[in-house]
Amino acid sequence: MPYVRLEVNVPLPDDVRDRVLSELSACVAAGTGKPEAVVQASVPGNVKMLMAKSSEPTAHLEIKGIDLQEAHAKGLSASICGLLSRELGIPGNRTYIAFASYAGGMWGFDGGTL
């Protein structure tokens, strides 16, 4: 049940946001080995962000899920940084990705936990 949230400080017209959201969902599914049917993704609106005292294009992502494997983090980082560079012009050295793994009992779904 991976969840990915992307925040960027660049304008995101609806068509670009929809495309990035779809590609991000597919990327996380492929990178974690989980079916895309259980991936939840969000890309909220343009946010104010600084990195290294600069407002140049930057991104922050959170990827959370049940029993995420550290072995997948490097590949996911490479894939996501490539996506953000290609689609939004945000370089990898201006992107942070935070990975978090949870036990199923700490992930709520449908009135219970997994």
pLDDT at 92: 97
pLDDT at 1: 87
Low-confidence spans in the chain with pLDDT less than 50: none
Boundaries of every domain in the chain: 3-108
CATH fold of the domain at 3-108 = Macrophage Migration Inhibitory Factor (3.30.429)
Query: According to the model, what pLDDT value does residue 10 have?
Result: 95
| Residue carrying structure tokens 């895309």 | 36
- Give residues with Cβ within 8 angstroms of 59, minimum separation 6: 6, 7, 8, 9, 84, 88, 90, 94, 95, 96
Q: Provide the whole-model pTM.
A: 0.92
